Amino acid sequence: MTLPSSNTVDAIRTTDLRKTFPDPEGGRGANEVEAVRGIDLACHYGEIYGLLGPNGAGKTTTLRMLATILVPSSGGGTLDGVDFVARPLEARRRIGFLSASTGLYPRLTPRETLTYFGSLHGITKDVLGARVEELVGTFDLTAFADRRCETLSSGQRQRTSIARAVLHDPPVLILDEPTTGLDILATSDMIDFIATRKDEGRCVLFSTHILSEAERLCDRIGVIDRGRLLASGTIDELREQTGETYLDRVFRALVADSRKAEAPA
Amino acid sequence: MILDALSTAVAVARKELVSAVRDRQTLVYTIVLPLALYPAIFWVMLQGYAYLEGRDRQTQTHAAVFVEHAAGFDADDVVAALEDGDDRRNKGPFSAWGEDGGVDEATIRELLAEVEDEEDGAAPLDCVVAVRSEPPGTRVWYDSTSSRSNLAAERVEERLRKLAEDLRRRAFEDPRALLAFEVQRHDIASEHGLGGFILSFILPMVFVFMSVMGCFYPAVDVTAGEIERGTAETTMLLPRPRLGIHLGKILAVATAGLVATSLNFAGMALAAEYLLASFPERPLEIRIPWGAFLPMLPFALSFVFFVSAFLVGVASLTKTFKQGQSLLGAVQLVVILPAMIGIIPGVELTPALACVPVMQTVLALRELLQPGALESLPALLIVALTQLVYAGLAIAFALRLTGRESSGDGSVSPRRFLSLLRARATPR
């Protein structure tokens, strides 16, 4: 990974990012869902940015657009300097994406999964073998590296997923509620993993609705509700903006203000 | 870009096939069942044949014979003819008793209803033979719900037919006059040729059926199965052209279909070579026409790609394995139906039928399995061209649907289908 020297360069930048899902039954208008409504986001290298919001706020849709799984309805942006709408292949090479639903192929082993992804990331055979063994060691996969993923525990699966996400050494990590469903130990491992990536100078954008996680890890937080980014800044900046001390109060105040403003008179 | 997509397709197909081989259900439907189907069927047939043959040979038939006085025979003559008679199939022992004089239906029914006599151990009757004088004729009374009684009726009929033939010959002064019009069919087709003719009906149908069956589970597995397992998103994260990824899935499904059909033919060849040959009275010689397989290959390949792409496209409308199975269960009938029409005797390969999807393949394979296929060359060329067009359209259809941003719960309705066709494509 080659990172820019300054940590003020945007690793992720979006401009008026929007996503509207059509009516599944093909109708127009009434049943369309505006999941994301004009999000402007900027995350830097060497920064952990937390996207905080209630269920259905648009966090996952935003992250999936950044990961090039979904196409924005309008707007766009860059990932590590690459336009992720115009050049999605290039963008995918620069990100490691992980979510609760980013499943592992159940009938492949962790070693086979890493080899498969590595080869499709264009890592040459001689380099790939060493890289896979390095990750097996780093994430302590040795004991189950040759067992099918369908037989692994949730913690073992999560470690394999992380190894898969960082296999190609991406400068940007996008994590969608990465601790959902994990036990205490696995959650702790995940938090350590995120903190370490920051120390390496990578940009980590992750969504969560666990406030303690956000408070502990994030350099900056973006609060999102009903598809809009309500506020963005350090925790202290958000406290100052709302006049609240505790993060849950900050969050409630921002969401309540926004909903009040949007409510019909 | 094209090379990148193709190399991606090969890598994805390889991974999907490794996955498929490790899935028990796919393994059963793609490898075990196609390979074992014909050996199993032939083995069961052989065992059944041997069992029935053995049982018939050991079954003693008991009959009662009534001959009306004016019939011109004694009951003993008829009993002797029945007991001493021999026939091709029913060589089993036969015992009968006879009475001169008529008999009414009520008595016959009573006789046939009698069970074994516990005192003298007399066996119950299997049939009653009543020879009438006016109008002349013989009626065999039997119970079609009893296999013993059916067998008895068959034996009586055949043995009496022989008796009648002997009597007719004896009645003629010059028996050669009778023989002059005795018709015997003589088929000039060799056993091998006849086997080939029958295979030309069976093999194309089996090919279509096996292709669909072989593609069925892999098609659901790479589409709805991926969504259900949560691996669809993982696959979308691959930094490769989506075109290559989706083509790879179709390639994997097509390969599974080809493997299924190849193994099925191998199983059939094995069964024909070893099991069919061990029938005591071999009905005909079935030899797999290996020489015809080479010209059949391009037609088979086009068809398998057509089926696999079509099934992948349809299965991608669903979001769970169960939904996929239900939908494809109905769709496979739609594919198999034209194939069934194609094997109806009298339906031949014409330029018009050469354009009908699925049926065209059955008819083309039928032509190629019979001698003189070159005479149908123009129609075969139409089949080859239209097959390519249909395979291309099916692949485009599958790419269109698998490459859409899916929404909804995976249920299938015409409106949702149209909305998916119109939906926004996922990033390249």
Task: Give the chain A residue nearest B233 (alpha carbons).
Answer: A102
Distance CA(B164)–CA(A115), nearest Å, equals 82
Nearest to B305 by CA among B219, B184, B179: B219
Identify the residue with better confidence: B284 or B74. Answer: B74
The verdict on a CB contact (< 8 Å) between B15 and A70 is no
Distance CA(B87)–CA(A50), nearest Å, equals 92
Distance between A193 CA and the closest CA of chain B, angstroms = 20
Domain segments of chain A as ranges: 10-102+171-262
**Choosing among A17, A34, A83, A89, which should be mutated to test the B contact, i.e. which has the most B CBs within 10 A?**
A89
Distance CA(B174)–CA(A209), nearest Å, equals 109
Reply yes or no on whether the pLDDT at B274 is more than 80.
no
* B61-160 carries CATH number 3.40.190: yes
Q: Using DSSP bridges, classify how beta strands B137-141 and B127-132 pair: parallel, antiparallel or unpaired.
A: antiparallel
C-alpha B220: how far from chain center? 26
Reply yes or no on whether the pLDDT at B40 is more than 80.
yes
Cross-chain CB nearest to B19 (options A26, A69, A108): A108
pLDDT at A5: 44
pLDDT at B384: 95
Q: What is the pLDDT of residues B165-223, one digit of tens each?
A: 888 877 776 766 666 666 777 767 666 666 667 777 888 888 899 899 889 999 999 99
Contact list, B321 vs chain A (CB under 8 Å):
none
> Which residues of B sit within 8 Å Cβ distance of A?
8, 11, 15, 18-19, 22-23, 229-231, 233-234, 236-241, 405, 407-409, 413, 415-416, 418-419, 422-428
Burial class (CB in 10 A: 0-12, 13-18, 19+), A38: middle
Burial class (CB in 10 A: 0-12, 13-18, 19+), A20: middle
Domain segments of chain B as ranges: 2-48+189-422, 61-160
* A10-102+171-262 carries CATH number 3.40.50.720: no
Chain A, 129 to 148: residues with Cβ < 8 Å from chain B are: 148
* Interface predicted TM-score (ipTM): 0.85
* A20: contact with B, CB 8 A cutoff: no
Task: Give the chain A residue nearest B414 (alpha carbons).
Answer: A25
pLDDT at A107: 93
pLDDT at B409: 54
Cross-chain CB nearest to A70 (options B8, B237, B405): B405
Provide mean pLDDT across the span B223-243.
89
pLDDT at B113: 86
Burial class (CB in 10 A: 0-12, 13-18, 19+), B230: middle
pLDDT at A173: 95
Q: Tell me the average confidence (pLDDT) per consecutive run of 10 residues in chain A, 265 residues long.
A: 55 94 66 88 94 90 93 93 93 90 88 95 92 92 95 89 92 90 82 89 90 89 92 92 88 86 71
Q: What is the pLDDT of residues B357-385, one digit of tens each?
A: 999 999 999 888 877 777 889 999 999 99
Sign of the four-CA dihedral A216, A194, A59, A73: positive
The verdict on a CB contact (< 8 Å) between B234 and A148 is no
Distance CA(B84)–CA(B95), nearest Å, equals 9
Greatest distance between any 2 Cα atoms in chain B: 98
**Choosing among A104, A107, A108, which should be mutated to test the B contact, i.e. which has the most B CBs within 10 A?**
A107
The verdict on a CB contact (< 8 Å) between A69 and B408 is no
